[in-house]
Amino acid sequence: MTYIAKPRLHHPSLQKNAVGYTRRDYEGKVSTLCAGCGHDSVSAAIVQACWQLDIEPHRVAKLSGIGCSSKTPDYFLGASHGFNTVHGRMPSVLTGANLANRELLYLGISGDGDSASIGLGQFAHAMRRGVRMVYIVENNGVYGLTKGQFSATADRGSVAKKGAVNHDAAIDLVGLALQLGATYVARGFSGDKTQLVPLIEGAIRHGGAAFIDVISPCVAFNNHAGSTRSYDHVREHNEALNRIDFIDLAAEQTAPADAALIEVPQHDGSTLRLRRLHAGYDPTDRLAAMNQLQTLQAAGEIPTGLLYLDPAASDLHQALNTVAAPLNRLAEAELCPGSALLAKLNAQLR
Ligand SMILES: Cc1ncc(C[n+]2csc(CCOP(=O)(O)OP(=O)(O)O)c2C)c(N)n1
Ligand code: SF4
Ligand SMILES: [Mg+2]
What range does the domain containing 83 cover?
Answer: 23-320
Distance (Å, whole) CA 73 – CA 108: 9
Beta bridge pairs of residue 38: none
Q: Does residue 146's CB lie within 6 angstroms of at least one atom of ligand 1?
A: yes
- The reply to whether 77 falls in a domain is yes
Distance (Å, whole) CA 4 – CA 233: 33
Q: Does residue 219's CB lie within 6 angstroms of at least one atom of ligand 2?
A: yes
- The reply to whether 334 falls in a domain is no
CA-based nearest residue to 204, from 114, 108, 339: 108
Q: How far is ligand 1, taken at its centre, from the CA of residue 331, in Å? A: 41
Number of residues assigned to the chain: 350
Q: How far is ligand 1, taken at its centre, from the CA of residue 218, in Å? A: 14
Query: Cα–Cα distances in Å, from 131 out to 17, 78, 96, 269?
Result: 29, 24, 10, 20
The helix/strand/coil state of 195 is helix
Distance (Å, whole) CA 308 – CA 274: 12
- The reply to whether 282 falls in a domain is yes
pLDDT of the chain, 350 residues: tens digit per residue: 456 777 777 788 899 999 999 999 999 999 999 999 999 999 999 999 999 999 999 999 999 999 999 999 999 999 999 999 999 999 999 999 999 999 999 999 999 999 999 999 999 999 999 999 999 999 999 999 999 999 999 999 999 999 999 999 999 999 999 999 999 999 999 999 999 999 999 999 999 999 999 999 999 999 999 999 999 999 999 999 999 887 665 545 555 567 778 888 877 778 888 888 888 888 999 999 999 999 999 999 999 999 999 988 999 999 999 999 999 999 988 888 899 999 999 999 99
Distance (Å, whole) CA 214 – CA 199: 10
pTM assigned to the model: 0.94
Distance (Å, whole) CA 79 – CA 81: 7
- The reply to whether 281 falls in a domain is yes
- The reply to whether 344 falls in a domain is no
Residue 304 near residue 253 (C-beta atoms within 8 A): no
Residue 209 near residue 130 (C-beta atoms within 8 A): yes
Q: Does residue 220's CB lie within 6 angstroms of at least one atom of ligand 2?
A: yes
Q: Does residue 213's CB lie within 6 angstroms of at least one atom of ligand 1?
A: no
CATH classification at residue 31: 3.40.50.970
Question: How many separate domains does the chain show?
Answer: 1
Best residue for ligand 1 mutational test, from 145, 161, 219, 229 (most atoms within 8 Å of Cβ): 145
Distance (Å, whole) CA 76 – CA 88: 21
